[in-house]
Structure 1
Amino acid sequence: MKSLKRTIYIILVIVLTIAVDQISKVLVRANINGRTDISPSERIPIIGDFFTMMNVENTGAFLGMGNDLNPTLRIILLLILPIVVLGLVLRHILKDKTLDNLSLFAFASIIGGGIANVYDRIVYGSVTDFLFIDLGGVFKTGIFNMADLSVTIGMIILVIMSFKKRKQ
């Protein structure tokens, strides 16, 4: 029975991650004018100029990397490879019964975020990015979305957990 609860937990985190991401993207596409390049036409301040929303359709990967790839390489690197890796990670966390709940959450967040962005690439041909942070030049992000945030948080949790395990 414990195995069933664990599997449900993993699936629930993945599904919720995908749902939050896709709902946020639907709202952005419907309500914020956007462009398909890195200079969006409309910026909406959330917290002054420090945290803004916009709508950018990213045909590449992180920060637009891969925009210039030929179509075959783009399919391999931005669709096939991520699907294979996400499948392997999912298989790993379903089989490895030694992972704690926080690590399971982290891996499931990464998988959910990855699936959400791959879905966008398949359905729309691009990924909708819309969040931007600029702390006056001290810290500045690229334009990102909720799936990216889930993947990043998942990775941070895994790094912290690996340091904790090394200390023990």
Structure 2
Amino acid sequence: MRSRLLLWAALAAFAIDQISKYLVVHVMRVADQPGGIDVVPPLLVFKYGENRGINFGLFQGNSEAARWILIGISVAICVGVLVWLGRAAHSGLMLFCGGLLIGGALANVVDRVLYGFVLDFLNMSCCGINNPFVFNLADVFIFAGAIGLVLFDGKKAS
């Protein structure tokens, strides 16, 4: 029963990310808007980005080998998290966080398989600082899930 929470969290994170990318990239056509689409400027702007590396554009690689290595690493991390969470009784919060991480990672894997890169569209700036980086909701889910797994580790299920 408890594993359903992990599954539903992963499916929700995956679906929310993929639907948001479809709407912003393909329906709103953010790539055709040179300055992006102001949502709550400058705090939130939709700007098109293609990430061939990992977060914040690190380890950019245009080769097919780099693409498939990143896909392999992402899938291996998902399997590792599943195995780790499956070895002992963990709290529902841990399972939820694991689901967010797995769903976000697999959403970015789908992008790499379909497009050869991860679609990014979120840009946030504040307080006179112009942030040049873009990200997506999968990145948010991966980050939140990883932080949650660290913060809530050790809290066993009753």
TM bracket (short chain): 0.7 to 0.9
- 1:7 pairs with 2:3: yes
- 1:21 pairs with 2:12: no
Structure 2, unaligned runs of 5 or more:
none
Structure 1, unaligned runs of 5 or more:
none
Runs of 4+ aligned residues of structure 1 deviating over 6 Å after TM superposition are: none
- 1:106 pairs with 2:97: yes
Q: 2:151 aligns with which of 154, 160, 165?
A: 160
Shift of 1:87: 1.0
Say which structure, 1 or 2, has more relative contact order (CA 8 Å, 6+ apart): 2
Cα pair 1:33 1:42 within 8 Å, conserved: no
Residue 43 of structure 2 corresponds to which residue in structure 1?
50
Q: 1:64 aligns with which of 54, 57, 69?
A: 57
Name the TM-score, length of structure 2 as normaliser. Answer: 0.85
Range with bigger deviation, 83-92 or 21-30? 83-92
Give the number of aligned pairs. 154
- 1:33 pairs with 2:33: no
Cα pair 1:10 1:104 within 8 Å, conserved: yes
Cα pair 1:34 1:57 within 8 Å, conserved: no
Name the TM-score, length of structure 1 as normaliser. Answer: 0.80
Map residues 62-141 of structure 1 onto 2, 5 A cutoff: 62-68=55-61, 70-76=63-69, 78-97=70-89, 99-137=90-128, 140=131
Q: % of aligned pairs identical?
A: 30
